[in-house]
Amino acid sequence: MTDDFSVDFTPVAEEVFGAGSVVADASRGPVGNGQETWFCMVSTGGDMRRVVVRRSAVSGPLNWTDRAAEFAALKWLQPQGLPTPPVLHFEPDGGRLERATIVMDHMPGSPLGRVSQEIRDRLGAELGHNLARLHELDVSSLAGGAATASAAALQQLDFWEQRYRSDALQPVPLVAALVAWLRKNQPTRQGSVALLWGDPGLYNMLHDEGSITALLDWELTHLGDPMEDLGAAVWSCRGMCDPELVVAAYEEESGSSVDRDELAWFEAFGALTRAIMLLNGARSVVEAEPRPSMMGLSLDLMPKLLRQAAATAGWPQVEPHPAESPDGEPASSAAALRPNVDETLRGIATYVDQAVLDTVDDKFVRRNLKTISALLRTSAIRNEREHEVTSARSKATADFLATLAEQGVDVSGGLEATAVRLEAGGSPDHQTAMRRHLLEDLTLIETLLGPLRDLY
């Protein structure tokens, strides 16, 4: 491929829209951590047509998803009456655009942005209505999937546990413990599977004056338990609108009530699966593509997601420690070179903020530069305090496991194995103690991430 996407896309545009079609403009979307998105203007027969080109990402949290399956689902959805983008063409992996690509019509409307709470609430309710309509579709013509909703949920739990085992750069005991809790407490649900959006939320839609115009990003679509979609929607709406508006609208549209205890399980599942996605994102940053926005999300968002999952599961809440100030004085040493590592990192961050950002017009680059600045400041704090925090975590874990061992708990295999055994069948007191320890450990990690928390 060339360095000019307009040139690369032209042969595809000619196939889709006819010979002589010209790609008048192509710009890469500035947001999104899943797939690579381009917005193109194609001149064909004197008319201008706006299209969206969605290409598989080189790396990232969802680089394992399948564009062919996404294209097939969107094609099937086109006549179903939901505001999904009409797909025009599929380009296979290794084709003219190198990676698997979907070409679709550009949908009207705008991303959520800064809108009033009234509009957010209205969109949340409309999201609930749209999810219910999606789940009512007859999927008998679609192949694959489990026979029942309960079996589908277990299938998904197995899938995401395997992703954790394969994607994590190192063990994350809190993830393993939450998986074990989900496995033990999975609700037994009757009912059939439905086609799921997979990633429902206000962040994956377009709207016009508070009315949804497009449901976007279907890379996680699959046949499954409808409550998986609703639980993910409830998770995604917290902090944006009242989730109960989503659920009430879903109940109104579907004509059936939603068990809130069962829904809580699926909300916890939704938060945990997003954390596992970020484990893959972290691996991609280390091994493939050092993307600043992905670095920031992997470091800061994952603890928030794990805390959300634990809270929804009813685990004891542990208040975060106060964040260290990014402007705090670095530790000094008589033998240290000046500027030391912390000063260098903070100095580069300041330069990016004050001298570089204002000169850059490209929104995609600006967003990454802001993340770079926050990462540099976070790295300065980590360089200054990470050894101290790691030592405190190791000592606290060793002391905790020793206490459990004195109480007759099998602690072989370390913290993660012990957490999983306790969630599978430990005493309530030991389960509570382990959950509290894992969340306290999380708060220590968060003390190193202040500038990223400010960014996100």
Give the pLDDT confidence of 118-163 residue by residue, as tens digits.
Answer: 999 999 999 999 999 999 999 999 877 778 899 999 999 999 999 9
Question: Is pLDDT of 359 > 70?
Answer: yes
Phi/psi class of residue 362: alpha, beta or left (left: φ > 0; alpha: ψ in -120 to 50)?
Answer: beta
Give the HSE-up count for residue 456: Cα atoms under 13 Å, Cβ half-sphere. 23
Contact of 437 with 404, CB cutoff 8 Å: no
pLDDT digits (tens, 9 = 90+) for 240-292: 999 999 999 999 999 999 999 999 999 999 999 999 999 998 888 788 877 77
pLDDT digits (tens, 9 = 90+) for 225-253: 999 999 999 999 999 999 999 999 999 99
Give the lowest-confidence range in 125-139, 340-354, 413-427.
340-354
Mean of the per-residue pLDDT values of the chain? 90
Give the separation between CA 35 and CA 57, rounded to whole angstroms.
Answer: 5
CATH architecture of the domain with residue range 5-105: 2-Layer Sandwich (3.30)
Query: What's the distance, Cα to Cα, between the start and end of the chain in Å?
Result: 34
Give the separation between CA 230 and CA 204, rounded to whole angstroms.
Answer: 14
Contact of 195 with 102, CB cutoff 8 Å: no
Contact of 201 with 232, CB cutoff 8 Å: yes
Give the HSE-up count for residue 188: Cα atoms under 13 Å, Cβ half-sphere. 0
**Please, where in the chain does CATH 3.30.200.20 lie?**
5-105
Q: Which residue has the higher pLDDT, 189 or 218?
A: 218
pLDDT of residue 335: 45
With CA atoms as reference, report the closest residue to 42 among 13, 68, 18, 67. 13
**Please, where in the chain does CATH 3.90.1200.10 lie?**
117-312
Task: State the pLDDT confidence band at 322, using cuts at 50, 70 and 90.
Answer: low
Give the separation between CA 371 and CA 326, rounded to whole angstroms.
Answer: 14
Torsion of CA 264, 245, 300, 361, to 10 degrees: 150
Indicate the CATH number for domain 117-312: 3.90.1200.10
- Predicted TM-score of the model (pTM): 0.85
Q: Burial, 129: exposed, middle or buried (Cβ in 10 Å; 0-12, 13-18, 19+)?
A: middle
